[in-house]
Structure 1
Amino acid sequence: MSRESGGGAGQAGAPVATRPEEIRNVVVVGAAGAGKTTLVERLLVAAGVLNRAGSTEDGTTVCDFEEVEHRHRRSVGLALAPLVHDGVKVNLLDAPGYVDFVGEVRAGLRAADCALFVVAANEGVDDATRALWRECADVAMPRAVVVTKLDHARADVDGVVAQAREAFGERVLPVHLHEGGRLVGLITGDHGHDAQRAALVEGIIEESEDETLMERYVGGEQIDTGLLLRDLELAVARGSLHPVVPVDSTTGVGATELLDLVVAAFPSPLEHPMPRTWTPSGGPGPEIACDPSGPLVAEVVKTTTDPYLGRVSMVRVFSGTVLPDATVHVSGHRSAWSSDPGGATSHPDHDEDERIGSLSVPLGKAQRTAHAVVAGDICAIGRLSRAETSDTLADVDTPLVLEPWRVPEPQLPVAIEVRTKSDEDKLGTSLQRLAAEDPTLRVEQNDETHQVVLWTMGEAHAEVLLDRLASRYGVDVDEVELRVPLRETFVGPATGLGRHVKQSGGHGQYAVCSIEVEPLPQGGGFEFVDRVVGGAVPRQFIPSVEKGVRSQMARGVVNGCPMVDIRVTLTDGKAHSVDSSDMAFQTAGGIALRDAATRAGTCLLEPVDEIEVLVGDALVGTIMGDLSARRGKVLGSEPASEPGLVVIRAHVPQLELRRYATELRSLAHGSASFTRAFAHYDRAPEQVSAQLALR
């Protein structure tokens, strides 16, 4: 695509770029309801891709993803909307704003080179918006701020800009002002806004590589507009200045100015820091560059399943050129970087060659054919049946792996059951496919509780997953009460007698053993002690007694859950020269343990997790009080690495954490997060034990 080529609606094929400098990859982020999707549609209208009715000339309608987001429907996700403005291809990536889909946001940040941060003029900057800003800052993403909903009755553009500067720093600076239903540019002229223009110009000049520019400006010299725009691009690319543009998505005021800013001041893929590469064997790989003639290195940033097209992969090309029908090497090595090795089981490591299908550029539900996609661009690839989200596509002869972006750990467990027997066989395959699409989903087959558990990001995420199971794969499931894996142990010391004597003609079964059982401290495990004297139990059968005790412990003694933290001492027994056997003494060992349990009594142990909650200073007391109400033990708190945030550590029973992901979000208005890891088992209170024993 040349600088003069332009683009618009009704194109036979997709808008094509032949050089990375002709591309801008922009992820549109912001809180739910801020107006992101409406803004994207308005920009498509301004570029001539859509008509004012919101559809292309051939009738394709762009899905209202934000409305979908509020309904928690299955279309929630990262959506690509390409356009051409002033000869530059702009790939808009519309990211969901609902906090459950932060994984999609992170995928968008990986695929993009700059972010449009959308804030509604009537809502301002809330805690959820601040959390999203931190998401962008964590990956050093250059950002610009777009203020939307200018026509709302409670719109306060100046107030929102002031809030944004207070929340995000003094480098949030307007480049346009909204006055009388039109925009006033601060770079192209003063228009009576001397103080605001001066703040912007000084902010731009401070990032200039021309050390004489500030002195000349202070001396009264008029700085050339082109020079300011060049240095604005430098400041934005460095992440040291965040320009603000108001856009009225209803009337379109500001849309063209925003596109001008994107083309003139946003970094191209050439300025995007390249992710590190590794070889499939785990060694360091070569540095890559955004070069269409270089080796192919691309990444799957989103995977969807279409009922007609099959699996479709949205791919960001970092190096090389993708061609249709080419054979590529597909690599996925999540476990190498996973903080939770068990969490990688839904996405096993793999290395294989695969022939790709057609190349296209999606817009809404339409797929427009592309004949080649160069480094820096984004496209959709069909028929990649083995590639999963965050996998790397590379040349077959020189396979490489990109370190995947950081995926948030899912913290809301949802237990499910199929409604009909006929769906049982389909469930496993369907869940595998969902996990391939969504790295934030972890599927657990819990052998202890005999439940299928989906670890999700929140209620909306869980609802979307269950809806996809039904609509895409025809598997209807019900959410059921989540069970936690329990243990039991002895309350006090006791003795037990195991007597297994049977005569049935021929060889019988004969084994008698006496044991003493005493509880061990928490985490003590199991100890077996042999104190038999005089050969009362022949030496060859002592391991049989231990094996029988261990087997009974695994099956449970009273409540049907595994027994832990006991010491069993074998003190005496009897044997028969003919009828005693390994199996007889195993059976006697189990009987002896059950007998001791009836004498001493047992208690239930419940699993306890150690959690870390990241929360703002103002909510520390609220969160600590809530943890105490959950029978939690607060271990302490400390300032986080980021100012204004605190990390609270606590031990909390798993039973009290089943809905914590949702309840914490409500308590902290979406601004807190937490991680969890198993800590130990602890004795459950009598009232809790009574409830658990009934399940």
Structure 2
Amino acid sequence: MNIYTTDKIRNVVLLGHGGSGKTSLAEAFGYLSGITSRMGKVDDGNTLSDYSKEEQKRHFSISTSVIPIEWEGYKINIIDTPGYFDFVGEVEEAVSAAGAAIIVVNGKSGIEVGTQKAWELCEKYKLPRFIYVSNMDVDNASFRQVVEDMTNLYGKKMAPFHLPIRENEKFVGYINVITESGNRWEGKEVVPCDVPDYSRANLQICRDTLMEAVAETSEEFMERYFGGETFSEAEIRAALRTNVCDGSIVPMTMGSNILCQGMYTLLDDIIKYMPSPENREVAGINLKTNEIYHADYDFAKAKSAYIWKTIVDPFIGKYSLIKVNSGVLKTDDLLYNVDRDIEEKIGKIYVLQGNKPIEVSELHAGDIGALAKLTAARTGNSLSTKATTIKYGKFDISTPYTYMRYKPKNKADVDKISQALQKMTHEDLTIRVVNDAENRQTLLYGMGDQHLDIVVSRLLNEYKVEIELSRPKIAYKETIKKQSDVEYKYKKQSGGHGQYGHVKMRFSPSGDLTKPYEFATEVVGGAVPKNFFPAVEKGIQESVGRGPLAAYPVVGVKAVLYDGSYHPVDSSEMAFKTAAIQAFKKGVMEAGPVLLEPIMSLKVTVPDAYTGDIMGDLNKRRGRVLGMNPMSGGRQIIEADIPMSGLFGYCTDLRSMTGGRGDYSYEFARYEQTPSDVQEKEVAARAAKVAENNADD
């Protein structure tokens, strides 16, 4: 692949709902630019960007891939992203590396939730964008409907650049709104044709909208427009480029990915209207001077780059995907990783075409490439020279809230599984592994059930290890509500020394649920010698780990040793510790033991229309709605307190209730007493489990 300077580069991310046609659009681009000699199909599992076994098996994108193509002397880095919400982390990474976006809308399905989410991401990152309507070769695809719906949603900035020509229900050509000319497809050729009469009125409306937008770019243009003058094609295109780059116009175009129709014009429009990196800004902090460093994709400045994605593949190895923010990166350069405090020789530089590495000698500012075997590097790290140390801010990545407990099918695979999961968390920042030692379980977090399902499948197919997912244990705790006064005498007589420990203890609520226990002594007259006090406390300390009610950790208990007796020969630390353990069990059970459950503070963001359904569902889950705050875009944030047990499966239920439009987040708030029916059920279930497997599950 040739070397391209900053002004000849375009970084374009494909966004949209799952199944809208992003991967087949990337495939059509690859075919037209000559990367492949025949077009692959998603259903056949032979596309450039869906190269992993999981993607080929499931027929949808799971991870982001880059397809760099060469077109008319330019390099366009096409970044193909997944459309399903479980893989939003991949999309957020891709958007951070892109300079512009194409939002793909299925002409048959029209605007879907993924379309709106893609638009919101572009707004957040201020990305110039095109709307591309796919599947125009399908009978009931309607470009006009998509234009109307997008205009209703986002206002008059929608500007159709092309209009479809249909004959006998077939998509046969398009009208160019700028040049007011018609074009037809005949085989692989595009031939001029007349604009059909039925399209003239619509063409006039679209043309007027474009001319208004052009007129608004300068006062001189405005005067000419009102004076009835027409603009030249060059003036129109120059003005439109300005409008597209600042986001005040969003061009709309259409085509058929499978038939490769509409692709030439789309590729030409990417080059004509989308900004090159030199027109975009990027800034970091110069750690030597503590000043803002305006890299701005300037090739003349010191070398710096940013790792926006990591690929760890058991077959092709580890690649750090980078975007060069300034300077020119060359083979064997020394780069300093600010975040990991390590200097590494980068060796060879690659561009990845799907999973195919192509070696290049250098990468200019604004370009996207890959570095192999940077051992310490992680997604989000900044790379620069030691002389000019630059740190770039990290992009936002969604927090995973769906989790399951996992166990290895084969105990011998524990180490292999943790190594494989570690590699997967380097690659996908929305996978988290949490060791919940208190409840003796390991938890796997992801963005949804499908996400976790794919992790399990990848472990089996790529790393040859198997795990089982199950419902996680809730981190209940035990405490007491009343006071109790108990004594326990531990006596054991066998040949030689016996064992003797005798304690009298009071148990009461300490009032502090953050600590397991408080221990005090009120022994008078040496009934229990002081040297045995630590042994009694050790017995309490050991006991709070597994409470007598349902074997959950105990909190908020005050234990007072006030009396007892000892034997000058048989008493030992061991005997007093055992006596304290038994006294604790008895004392807690007599002091009104209760189960405490974790309460989460939940925020659910949904469109207004769904608030009633959401609140009804929260009530069913024993949630308490605390209030609602309106947001922009006709949405509400519902705040509620909800028991952790009520959140199991919430991600799937929320998506099905809101058609994927709802989001939620939660954090731990406090512990509260569980209702008696929940407590009874949990104690019975726990007792059965403990009886079945005394070593704890």
Which TM bucket (shorter chain)? 0.7 to 0.9
The count of corresponding residues between Structure 1 and Structure 2 is: 656
Aligned to 1:385: 375
391-400 or 649-658, which moves further after superposition?
391-400
Residue matched to 2:234? 226
- Please state how far the C-alpha of 1:78 moved relative to its aligned partner: 0.8
CA distance in 2, matches of 1:380, 1:574: 74
**Whole-angstrom distance in 2 between the partners of 1:292 and 1:693:** 68
Any idea what the Cα deviations from partners look like across 1:217-249, whole Å, max 9, x if unmatched?
121122222222222222222222211111222
**Matched AA of 2:3:** V
Cα distance in 1 between the residues matched to 2:342 and 2:15: 34
Q: Residue type matched to 2:148 in 1? A: A
CA change 1:74–1:313 in 2 (3 A) is: farther
Question: Which residue number in structure 2 is paired with residue 78 of structure 1?
Answer: 64
Alignment of 1:109-258 (within 5 A): 109-180=95-166, 181-189=172-180, 192=200, 193-206=203-216, 208=217, 210-258=218-266
Distance 1:667 1:21, change over 3 A: same
- Give the drift of 1:33: 0.7
Match of 2:646 among 638, 642, 656: 656
Alignment of 1:231-380 (within 5 A): 231-277=239-285, 279=287, 286-332=293-339, 350-380=340-370
Relative to structure 2, which stretch is displaced further, 302-311 or 454-463?
A: 302-311
Q: How far off its partner does 1:601 sit?
A: 5.0
Which residue does 2:468 correspond to in 1? 478
Q: Which residue of 1 aligns with 2:557?
A: 566
In 1, Cα distance between equivalents of 2:432 and 2:60: 18
In the other structure, the counterpart of 1:498 is: 488
The one-letter code of the counterpart of 2:301 is: G
What code does the residue aligned with 2:311 have?
A: T
The more displaced of 266-275 and 351-360 is: 351-360
Corresponding residue for 1:523? 513
Cα distance between partner residues in 2 of 1:452 and 1:400: 37
Deviation (angstroms), 1:324: 2.3
Shift of 1:445: 1.7
**Are 1:443 and 2:443 an aligned pair?**
no
Question: How big is the shift at 1:86?
Answer: 2.6
User: Which position in structure 2 is the counterpart of 1:16?
Assistant: 3
CA shift, 1:67, in A, is 11
Q: Distance in 1 between matches of 2:408 and 2:60?
A: 19
Q: Which 5+ residue runs of structure 1 have no aligned equivalent?
A: 1-13, 333-349
SS of 1:484 mapped into structure 2: coil
Contact 1:74 1:467 in 2 (8 A): no
- Counterpart of 1:247 in structure 2: which amino acid? G
Q: Tell me, what secondary structure is at the counterpart of 1:648?
A: strand
Once the two structures are TM-superposed, the CA of residue 368 in structure 1 deviates from its matched residue by: 2.0
Match of 1:87 among 62, 73, 96: 73
Deviation at 1:439? 0.9
Give yes or no for the alignment of 1:41 onto 2:27: yes
Q: Secondary structure at the match of 1:62?
A: coil
Matched AA of 1:635? L
Q: Distance in 1 between matches of 2:577 and 2:79?
A: 64
- For the 8 Å contact 1:458–1:662, the answer to whether it is kept is yes
Matches within 5 A, 1:667-686: 667-684=657-674, 685=678, 686=680
Establish whether residue 557 from structure 1 lines up as the match of residue 548 from structure 2: yes
SS in 1 for 2:341: strand
Q: Which residue of 1 aligns with 2:630?
A: 639
Q: What is the Cα-based RMSD across aligned positions, in Å?
A: 2.8
Kept in 2, the 8 Å contact 1:37–1:65? The answer is: no
Contact 2:103 2:115 in 1 (8 A): no
Give the C-alpha shift of residue 201 in structure 1.
2.1
Partner SS for 1:312 = strand
Deviation at 1:177, TM superposition (A): 1.3
1:48 is matched by which residue type in structure 2?
Answer: G
Aligned partner of residue 299 in structure 1, secondary structure? strand
Is the alpha carbon distance of 1:196 and 1:681 closer, same or farther for their aligned partners in structure 2, counting shifts above 3 Å? same
The structural deviation recorded for 1:256 is 1.4
Alignment of 1:495-644 (within 5 A): 495-502=485-492, 510-519=500-509, 523=513, 525=515, 526-539=517-530, 541-542=532-533, 544-576=535-567, 584-640=575-631, 642-644=632-634
1:135/1:411 CA distance change after superposition, 3 Å = same
- Asked if structure 1 preserves the Cα contact closer than 8 Å seen for 2:15 and 2:102, the reply is yes
Shift of 1:417: 1.8
1:344 counterpart residue number: none
Does the 8 Å contact 1:122/1:156 carry over to 2? Answer: yes
Contact kept in structure 1, 2:12 and 2:98, CA below 8 Å: yes
Aligned amino acid, residue 623 of structure 2? G
Instruction: Mark the runs of 5 or more structure 2 residues left unpaired by the alignment.
Output: 167-171, 182-194, 690-697
**Identical pairs, percent:** 33
* Structure 2 counterpart SS, 1:212: helix
In 2, Cα distance between equivalents of 1:184 and 1:66: 39
Give distance in 1, aligned partners of 2:422 and 2:315.
Answer: 19
Structure 1 residue matching 2:438: 3-state secondary structure: coil
Q: Measure the CA separation in 1 of the matches of 2:290 and 2:463.
A: 39
Q: What residue identity is the alignment partner of 1:123?
A: S
1:622 deviates by 0.9
Q: Which amino acid aligns with 2:486?
A: G
- Per-residue deviation, 1:408: 0.6
Structure 1 length-normalised TM: 0.88
**Superposed displacement of residue 650, structure 1:** 1.6
Range with bigger deviation, 373-382 or 65-74: 65-74
Report the secondary structure of 2:639's partner residue.
strand
Q: Is the 8 A contact 1:501 1:510 kept in 2?
A: yes
- For 2:587 and 2:397, the matched residues in 1 are separated by 49
Tell me the amino acid that sits aligned with residue 627 of structure 1: L
Tell me if structure 2 keeps the 8 A contact 1:65–1:75.
no
Greater shift after overlay, 108-117 or 352-361?
Answer: 352-361
